């Protein structure tokens, strides 16, 4: 399927526009999942859920390759297979791994909707990829087959409403916080216009731009619970910050006291709203093991 994800330039631009582009936000998310603002989710689940030395790992939807390079540098696995469906993206990730001397990573082009994954693997990792899959049942079945008897699946995923169809109550909360931002931080970097209100995205427009975007995001977690034995689930925020900060995050100057302070206030607001159950977290880290 031809989507924007085939375009390496698009994916590189997107990394600077998503709500997690800020180190302040990432530290908040690390704290939510791991209890340590300096420890990311992947490092944490390795430490808590895996043995010290294992044979093989599989990374689904490798993208730029940053995830598996960090995995290889930690040295827990003797070899790592990383895959994506976009050839240009895979080639770029392969070159980056070669330049950093990480010979333990093997790259493959794989269509996760239908192709087998090989194996066996002691662990399968997915970071921000499963919410793009239509045939989740089929993929979970193939992951299960690819795991070793004690193998485990780990993912950090968007599990919010399909096609970002947030409720009226959610959008009202988002706009309440949008209005408190100074003018310079409400400029849309894609259009140059000042945003006074976030409108709910049109599901049809989301699908037109990318047929895979949040296609079955609501099913990612329930189906994982059916296919695997859940060991742990770690909510990872995003109920406020994900719809509020997309694009706008590029306006916040990293290290600027005022901008970092505003981001910390927004993180605190999201945390309070989530704890009071006025918001559901949009993202979640899942750790599950193979059945039987």
CA-based torsion, 125, 127, 128, 129: positive or negative: negative
How far apart are alpha carbons 262 and 281 in whole angstroms? 20
Nearest to 185 by CA among 263, 90, 278: 263
Residue 15: per-residue pLDDT: 81
113 and 88 in contact (C-beta within 8 Å)?
A: no
Lowest mean pLDDT among 15-19, 217-221, 267-271: 15-19
Q: Residue 42 sits in a domain of what CATH number?
A: 3.40.50.150
Q: Which residue has the higher pLDDT, 4 or 145?
A: 145
- 284 pairs with which residues across the strands? 157, 235
Q: Is the pLDDT of residue 4 over 70?
A: no
What global pTM score does this model have? 0.93
- 5 confidence band (pLDDT: 50, 70, 90): very low
In this structure, the strands spanning 283-289 and 105-109 are: unpaired
Predicted pLDDT of residue 190: 86
The pLDDT of residue 12: 54
Residues 6+ away with beta carbon under 8 Å from 106: 79, 80, 81, 82
Q: What is the mean pLDDT of residues 134-158?
A: 98
pLDDT-based confidence at residue 94 (cuts at 50, 70, 90): very high
Structural domain range at position 91: 4-289
Q: Taking residues 227-232, report their average pLDDT.
A: 98
pLDDT at 16: 87
pLDDT for position 10 = 46
pLDDT recorded at residue 103: 86
The beta-carbon contacts of 181-187 under 8 Å, at least 24 apart in sequence, are 181/248, 181/262, 184/251, 185/248, 185/251, 185/252, 185/259, 185/262, 186/248, 186/251, 187/248, 187/251
pLDDT given for residue 14 in this prediction: 66
Across all residues in the chain, what is the average pLDDT? Answer: 94
The pLDDT confidence band at residue 6, using thresholds 50, 70 and 90, is low
Cα 244 to the chain's mean position, in Å? 17
DSSP code for 52: S
Q: Which residue has the higher pLDDT, 51 or 13?
A: 51
* pLDDT single digits (tens) 162-204: 999 999 999 999 999 999 999 999 999 888 999 999 999 999 9
Task: For the chain, give the percent of residues with pLDDT over 70.
Answer: 95
**pLDDT, tens only, 235-285:** 999 999 999 999 999 999 999 999 999 999 999 999 999 999 999 999 999
Structure token pair of residue 291: 């059945």
The answer on pLDDT for 97 being more than 60 is yes
pLDDT of 2 strictly over 80: no
Domain count of the fold of the chain: 1
Q: What pLDDT does residue 269 have?
A: 98
Q: What is the mean pLDDT of residues 119-136?
A: 98
């Amino acid at each position: 399927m031809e989507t924007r994800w085939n375009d390496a330039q698009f994916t590189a631009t997107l990394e600077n526009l998503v709500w997690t582009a800020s180190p302040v936000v990432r530290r908040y998310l690390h704290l939510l999942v791991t209890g340590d603002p300096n420890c990311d989710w992947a490092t944490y689940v390795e430490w808590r859920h895996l043995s010290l030395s294992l044979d093989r790992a599989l990374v689904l939807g490798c993208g730029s390759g940053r995830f598996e390079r960090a995995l290889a540098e930690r040295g827990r696995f003797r070899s790592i297979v990383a895959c994506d469906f976009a050839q240009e993206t895979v080639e770029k990730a392969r070159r980056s791994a070669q330049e950093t001397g990480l010979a333990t990573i093997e790259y493959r082009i794989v269509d996760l909707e239908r192709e087998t994954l090989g194996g066996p693997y002691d662990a399968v990792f997915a970071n921000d990829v499963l919410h793009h899959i239509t045939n989740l049942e089929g993929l979970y079945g193939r992951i299960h087959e690819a795991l070793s008897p004690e193998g485990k699946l780990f993912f950090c995923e968007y599990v919010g409403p399909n096609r970002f169809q947030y409720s009226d109550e959610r959008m009202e909360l988002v706009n309440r916080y949008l209005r408190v931002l100074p003018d310079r931080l409400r400029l849309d970097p894609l259009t140059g216009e000042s945003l006074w209100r976030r409108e709910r995205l049109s599901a049809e427009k989301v699908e037109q731009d990318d047929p895979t975007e949040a296609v079955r995001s609501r099913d990612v977690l329930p189906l994982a619970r059916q296919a695997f034995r859940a060991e742990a689930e770690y909510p990872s925020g995003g109920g406020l910050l994900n719809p509020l900060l997309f694009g706008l995050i590029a306006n916040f100057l990293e290290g600027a006291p005022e901008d970092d302070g505003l981001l910390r206030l927004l993180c605190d607001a999201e945390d309070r709203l989530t704890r009071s159950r006025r918001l559901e977290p949009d993202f979640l880290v899942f750790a599950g093991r193979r059945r039987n």
